[in-house]
Amino acid sequence: MSITANRIKELRKQKKLTQSELAKKINASRMAIANYETDRNNPSYAMLSLIADALNTTVEYLQGKTDSPLKTPAVDDNGDEPPLTEGQKQVAYFIDPSATPEEIEQIKKLVEIAKLSKRRL
């Protein structure tokens, strides 16, 4: 059985969810969950994302790309967003050096969308 199938089943059981309960959370059928857990079908990236959210983990964990089932916090312990890396600062500057804070937030959202798209390739 695949890592993805095993991890979906393992986390579902850890959360004390039945296949039907997980299916209801992600608006799928119980049979779809059963097929994912027995490796008869492979979930799409979109479905994996829904399953990951329902099980409070990441797609990367479900796919076996990481061994940590924990989500990484989007903010640090002080409640602040993590600082930008040098590369991110350069990209932000080249996009628009006079961007307002609202525009910067929109740019950040676009970058997140681009990162998600890259993972699907």
Angle between helices 19-26 and 30-37 (to 10 degrees): 110
Q: Which two tokens stand for residue 46?
A: 């979109």
pLDDT at 9: 96
pLDDT at 80: 58
**Distance (Å, whole) CA 3 – CA 111:** 29
- What's the first-to-final CA gap in the chain, in angstroms? 23
Give the global pTM: 0.60
Closest-CA residue to 11 (of 30, 31, 40, 33): 33
pLDDT at 121: 40
- Tens of pLDDT along the chain (121 residues) come to 899 999 999 999 999 999 999 999 999 999 999 999 999 999 998 899 999 999 999 999 999 988 888 876 544 455 555 666 666 666 666 666 676 777 777 777 777 777 766 554 4
For 3-63, which CATH superfamily applies?
lambda repressor-like DNA-binding domains (1.10.260.40)
**Distance (Å, whole) CA 11 – CA 9:** 6
Q: Is the dihedral of CA 111, 114, 116, 121 positive or negative?
A: negative
pLDDT at 84: 62
